[in-house]
Copies of this chain bind each other. A is one copy, B any other.
Amino acid sequence: MRTVAIAGVGLIGGSFGLALRRAGFDGPILGVSSPGAIREALALGAIDKGVPLEEAAARADLIYLSQTIERILETIRSLGPLVRPGCLVTDAGSTKLRIVEEARRSLPPGAFLGGHPMAGKETRGAATAEASLFEGRTYVLTPAGETPATLEFRTWLDRIGAIPVVMEAAAHDRVVALTSHLPQLASTALGALLAGRLDEADRRIAGPGLKDMTRLALSSYDIWRDILATNPAPIAAALDAYIEELRRLRAGLEAPSMRESFDQAAALALSLRRQ
């Protein structure tokens, strides 16, 4: 791997460039992004040069797609006729099935490896990128044949401190529907409901618990639109199951089963904190 191109040098893409550098990668890192993002990423040292996608495809051994999901899908289609033999295309999109399917249609066999780093911050943009973003964080990879390029990419993931977990794209999408997309919508629904029900005085009564439960509600729809659009069936199933669980609690507000629900929920919450 002598030349790397990063398409979309925001928080994830910028951090990937910084992490590679810190881990000892000394080849050129090219950036494909908007002029503003390229400026930020250059200033930070996350990339060496901004280039058009065509130039990136002509030069890079690894093309890292860290754009929005719709842009990743478009870039994969554009890369179809451009990608060089032996080049590995990988992505960091939050849903995997549509992207893996698009890559299967548009790219040569073995040229694509789907990825989803479980890393992020509440901020966006290369300006807040950091070399340590992937350290100790799970990095989902969809199954792919072992080629020299995939093996080398995994070596670099190890070097930047990520913890790879191989998972089928459909299974990934079902799990993140539960662990990420459902919590987002549960928070958004709570915020949207209370927006219409609490006056100024009522809001003064809100405690820290409600702040926790509405932190995700601060997320921009611009990020979530693509996620919701590319994972509708698992999200709908997760919402149905959640509504059913709420109905069960609603029916048993004073029933002995309520203790079980609290105990199960506390055990899950604890297990998430032990990792």
Contact = CB atoms under 8 A, between A and B. Distances in A.
B253 A228 contact: yes
A235 B253 contact: yes
B207 A118 contact: yes
Contact of A186 (B208, B246, B268): B246
Interface in A98-112: none
Given A138-B205, A228-B253, A267 B188 contact: no
Chain A, interface SS category: helix
Interface string A186-203: 111111111111100111
Contacts of A193: 178, 241-242, 245
Interface of A: 118, 120, 138, 140, 163, 165, 167, 172, 175-176, 178-180, 182-198, 201-221, 224-225, 228-229, 232, 235-236, 239-243, 245-247, 249-250, 253-254, 258-273, 275
Given A204-B275, A209-B215, A224-B262, 20 more contacts: A163-B204, A165-B205, A179-B198, A179-B202, A179-B203, A180-B210, A188-B261, A188-B262, A189-B249, A190-B265, A192-B261, A211-B273, A212-B216, A214-B269, A219-B262, A219-B266, A224-B258, A228-B254, A239-B250, A243-B243
30 contacts: A118-B206, A138-B204, A138-B205, A172-B205, A175-B205, A178-B198, A178-B202, A179-B206, A180-B207, A188-B249, A188-B262, A189-B242, A190-B265, A191-B267, A192-B245, A192-B262, A192-B265, A198-B268, A203-B275, A211-B269, A215-B269, A217-B265, A217-B266, A218-B269, A218-B270, A221-B259, A239-B249, A240-B250, A243-B243, A243-B247
